[in-house]
Structure 1
Amino acid sequence: MVREAALRMQNDQEGPLLSVAEVASILLDPAVYYPLQFAVLRRKQMVRLTKSAIKNRSSRYDNPAL
């Protein structure tokens, strides 16, 4: 798919560089999809950890008995 798009660019043909079906097949390719999915999940996890750390820090300072 990517190679075909590169050839189309070299030939300078009219039309879109990649069709919707080609983009979908590239994104659904496991070599592309799984690293992307992992990066998104990792980011969500980091946001969740940061939020809980901020919440825990503020509650500790508000209540010194803890």
Structure 2
Amino acid sequence: MSSGDAQAGLADASRMRDFIVIILALLEELDSLTPEEPDRSVFHEHAGLFDDIAEYPGFGAAAARRAAGAGNS
């Protein structure tokens, strides 16, 4: 694997981390919601954020493995 591939993997892993941080910040809105929230779509939006959180770590792990290449495992 070239250093360019490793660099791209590292950049992708960092990007996934950043996405997770942003999503966690967006999920803080949950603390201000009540069960009586009139706009029910907000709950669907948060469900989508949780779906994203479930996917991004796998993408980040794959990217980190690309950064490692055939090195130590």
Superposition TM-score, scaled by structure 1 size? 0.48
Instruction: Say which one has the larger Rg.
Output: 1
